[in-house]
Structure 1
Amino acid sequence: MQDLFSIKGKVALVTGGSRGIGAMIAEGFLRAGAKVYITARKRQELDATCARLSEFGECIAIVADLAELEGVKQCAAEIAKHENSLDILVNNAGATWGAPIDEFPEHGWDKVMDLNVKSVFFLSQQLLPQLRAAARTGDPARIINLSSVYALRYSHQNTFSYSASKAAVLQLTQQLAASLVKDNINVNAIAPGFFPSNMTAFLMEDEEALNSSIPMGRVGALEDAAGTAIYLCSRAAAYMTGGLLVIDGGSVVSAG
């Protein structure tokens, strides 16, 4: 039982790992004994996070723009250059866009869909050789897709493409899970509520009001994000695929 939640010695890739939930999950993996690659578009921010996280274990930075298929292929090629197998892929990189419905632009729609949905599928596809190489009966390789509570409820913000993209991630997770189960690759999703990040920074300006809007009275912490991801990648969740874990402090079930 002491190894039930162990991911020691596993190799993971966390996209969007330079900040927010991605950095939280990457830190949790490192503290748990995994080797972790992190990606982001901005080298300076990525390198700074990598240097900080390297205190906890072996962390490697890969600069990649996953909104473009070429960037997806470059990222996968960089992993293949260093690793014959990959135990864990966390598709976390994401974007949002807000505008009134009458003014919502096409480029805002496409930007969000390309990163939040398209990259999830194609990066998973490109890394299948490494994931299959790591997969074992009883110890599958794992893909975790980051969705959102706004896949399950409406948002007061005008983030039409974001909510639609995160709902698409849930269906894509089930489709991938069904397609890859025979390859011993488990695919599950996490739907976070509010966690500190650049994406939610404007809401964090009034932290007291934000906390009071959450039934548990607080935003998510590193332990909440990392603990959930570690569970999904451990022996404890080896029998789970196509599933969804909601970590939102009770917001969805309490929504009016």
Structure 2
Amino acid sequence: MPTIKTSDGVEIFYKDWGPRGGRPIMFHHGWPLSSDDWDTQMLFFAQNGYRVVAHDRRGHGRSAQVSEGHDMDHYAADAAAVANHLDLRNAVHIGHSTGGGEVARYVAKFGEPQGRVAKAVLVSAVPPLMVKTDANPGGLPLEVFDGFRKALADNRAQFFLDVPTGPFYGFNRVGAKIYPGVIQNWWRQGMMGSAKAHYDGIKAFSETDQTEDLKAMTVPTLVMHGEDDQIVPVAAAALRSIKLLQNGTLKTYPGFPHGMLTVHADVLNADLLAFIGD
């Protein structure tokens, strides 16, 4: 398997498909999944002449199940290690959910300072901050995330079945078309990873304030969010992020769920292609 080692010795798995001379797109997956969550987009863009790259975050998928480093700083540094190893330049970085936080931290701390990133896309992304605080009264109560941690620690296998069966893809909505294979694939990806990484990752995606990351980003950035996102509410995330970005464009989707990149891939892929091809 293609892997690289980070500066702190963690083995990171990555995929690198499409023509080497094509414009690079790097995809950053959400919690608790893997680079496989981007397969539909990677096939689509590779077929359209792009070089597509995606990695498994540390502790996720096929990357090393290390005990430490499950925080946004390490996530971004690991992504930078992959981008540097492959010498990706003029790249578009696309992140979903927690991967959107990873993209924001990567672009602000590594991508723009190193001159490697041209555009960014935040899909159903967690920035600027998910948890409710005095400065963020519209966030979700800490008890919500404590509930995630308890469910994961008590019975991770069942929790990782309940999430995709219900709110993640909006399959709990009346009249929703349910795809059992999508549910099984979510469970498969989640269970490949480390319970420790997933447990610690809840704090990373919920309590990391990325206000300054968003303010620091100057590249054209597309913010895409479903208006029926039950995991990362649009009002707490995208509608706040767009006010912080210097060069942002907001596109929301009525009725679309958190996992819209999978169940509405035809719509998302077309919009991504239009943005990237500008």
Give TM class, smaller chain. Answer: 0.3 to 0.5
More helix by share: 1
State the TM-score, normalized to the length of structure 1.
0.43
Q: Name the TM-score, length of structure 2 as normaliser.
A: 0.40
